[in-house]
Structure 1
Amino acid sequence: MTIDNSSEQFPTPNPLEGKPLPPIPLLTMFRLGLYQMGLGIMSLLTLGVINRIMIDELKVPALIAAGAIAMHQFVSPARIWFGQMSDAKPLWGYHRSSYVWIGLILFTSAAFLAMQVVWQLGASIQVNGFNGIAYLWAGLLALIFAGYGLALSASSTPFTALLFDVSDEENRSKLISIVWSMLMVGIVIGAIISSKILHR
């Protein structure tokens, strides 16, 4: 009776398995936190400022404005799907970075498109009142915010998985605390910028 020594029965061990990941320098942690800081700024400048402009300046009904903007939250369950996608299907050889960059480009582009639609919606209301054309613009704005939410999900969930991938149990808590603290910093910066812009 012969013994099968093939690699299928005795798989070759991974030389990196069981070895701790190299510690993440403090500067790298803050560099990773820039992404979250940018999200904080974007959340204030897009969602908060657009909401205020639509209701106070353009006289869009609050229910319509809030409903259109809230569409980015209705698609948030897609985060689970994008997380699984980044696990199973790498893009251009990267499991996380490609999704982060593509999502980032898409949600910033969606924010720009949303502003253009907001101006068209406001102009339509001023000329014709809130009629069928205004409802079409509001529907288009809701679709753009849904795309904004999908792009945000495609970027932020793989980014969170990236933080887990590059850290181990010893420095993961420090990394997560710094990165999420910078989200709060971004929200504060966005609030200061938006208040300065709206008071001019």
Structure 2
Amino acid sequence: MTLGWLSIVRLGLVQMSLGAIVVLCTSTLNRLMVVELALPALLPGLLVALHYGIQISRPKWGFLSDTGGHRTRWILLGMATLAVGGLLAAAGVAVMETRIAFGLVLSVVAYSLIGLGAGASGTSLLALLASHTAPHRRAAAATITWLMMIAGIALTAGGVGAILDPYTPMRLLQIVALVTGGAMALTVLAVWRIEAGLAPAAPERDPMPFLDGLREVWSEARARNFTIFVFLSMTAYFMQELILEPYAGLVFGFTPGQSTSLSGAQNGGVFLGMLCVGIAATGLRMGSLRNWVVVGCIGSAGSLGAIALLGQVGPVMPLTAAVVGMGFFNGVFAVAAIGSMMALAGQGRGAREGTRMGLWGAAQAIAAGFGGLAGAAGADAMRRVFVTDATAFGTVFMFEAALFLAAALMAARVIERPAPMIRANLVPGE
């Protein structure tokens, strides 16, 4: 009983809805606080970090979806929590115009709910995919769901940007209410009875307490090593997030519009990389997920090295091409890693897919917050050490490249053995 292509696309709609709400809170509201309200950039940065930090609860949500019988209820509960958090976050920005203290308290509550909702819904969704996606479809399933999430982010950001002007707090609240309400409705339709055809009945509730279940999963060498790999690789993945555009402006003289276009080109590369792996691994059966993870990590390291070296040459060299290359290999790595995650989630003690996905999701969330802050702090520190900005930023990019190479070596060890086990288990049922 596995998910068909239509069901995978339906679950991708949930990812699209999740991305649509989160991008408002991490991008649009961020800009409003810094520009329109003239607040320190550290404030929205700390709120975004809070929403990542709250997602350390992902293992708990995964465990609950393992033991509770149906994962769709946790997807819906998480999306509802996320929608409420998004509305409160917009209200917090509106309130800050007149009552800054109350607005800050409201924002802290809102971003906490956003972290909880994204953790509960996202973890349960990935656990459902991991439990019921056929092995040969995992790369394509990861590609479909993540491309749809990127589409949700892009469509929401573009659409909201087009109708938000002229900005007023009331207009902001109306738009966010429309986005969150639409995302919730789409999620309900997407998961409606999708699990009914997969499992005839809910499993009995696991009497094991959560901490004991988490220790049990952590005691599995493969799950533990993959958690370390996720943290290491995602730290490298996110280190450039806050410093790439400043680097383009300070070293290459990019205008704000040009640097924004640079980020768009990077995301275009990510899209192509994800699409490439989905077609090659599933449609053409070319290469294993482990090999694609290694290729993605090594290619990302090489692209970062090129970006760092271009700064020493000057503005005449094609920075955009190197950034698109980095995005491409980032996309290759991301989809292959998610597909590998789905495969590994089902290995080990049974009925623990959600707990494993939650553990890896928590590692990813912590790495996202830590990587971004580490990259920014590293760039600031190196600018005090070196005379030129090119050398300062280049040092951080080279360190990030080294982390990707270390992740490639670790991936080759952690992901290399499951394939024979998967094929052996498939033979009787094929």
2:138 aligns with one of 145, 161, 172: 172
Q: Which has the higher helix share?
A: 2
TM-score (norm 1): 0.75
Equivalent residue, structure 2, for 1:138: 104
2:39 aligns with one of 60, 64, 72: 60
User: SS at 2:136's partner residue?
Assistant: coil
Take 2:127 and 2:3, find their aligned partners in 1: how far apart are those partners?
A: 17
CA RMSD of aligned residues (A): 1.8
1:190 aligns with one of 156, 159, 163: 156
2:15 aligns with one of 36, 43, 53: 36
> Which structure has the larger Rg?
1
Contact kept? 2:3, 2:132, Cα under 8 Å: no
User: SS at 1:95's partner residue?
Assistant: coil
Unaligned runs of 5+ in 2: 167-430
Take 1:175 and 1:40, find their aligned partners in 2: how far apart are those partners?
A: 17
1:156 aligns with one of 108, 114, 122: 122
Aligned length: 166
- How many Å apart are 1:140 and its aligned residue? 3.3
Matches within 5 A, 1:22-33: 22=2, 24=4, 26-33=5-12
* Amino acid aligned to 1:161: A
| 2:48 is the counterpart of 1:73 | no
Contact kept? 2:21, 2:82, Cα under 8 Å: no
Take 2:147 and 2:141, find their aligned partners in 1: how far apart are those partners?
A: 10
Take 2:108 and 2:19, find their aligned partners in 1: how far apart are those partners?
A: 21
* Amino acid aligned to 2:21: M
2:92 aligns with one of 95, 114, 117: 117
- How many Å apart are 1:182 and its aligned residue? 1.0
Unaligned runs of 5+ in 1: 1-20, 125-133
User: SS at 2:83's partner residue?
Assistant: helix
Instruction: Pick closer, same or farther for the CA change 1:116–1:68 going to 2, 3 Å.
Output: same
| 2:60 is the counterpart of 1:85 | no
- How many Å apart are 1:35 and its aligned residue? 0.8
Could you tell me the percent identity over the aligned residues? 29
Using the TM superposition, name which of 43-52 and 71-80 deviates more: 43-52
Using the TM superposition, name which of 152-161 and 66-75 deviates more: 66-75
* Amino acid aligned to 2:28: V
1:181 aligns with one of 147, 152, 157: 147
Take 1:160 and 1:67, find their aligned partners in 2: how far apart are those partners?
A: 27
Equivalent residue, structure 2, for 1:47: 26
Greater relative CO, 1 or 2 (CA 8 Å, sep 6+): 1
* Amino acid aligned to 1:66: G
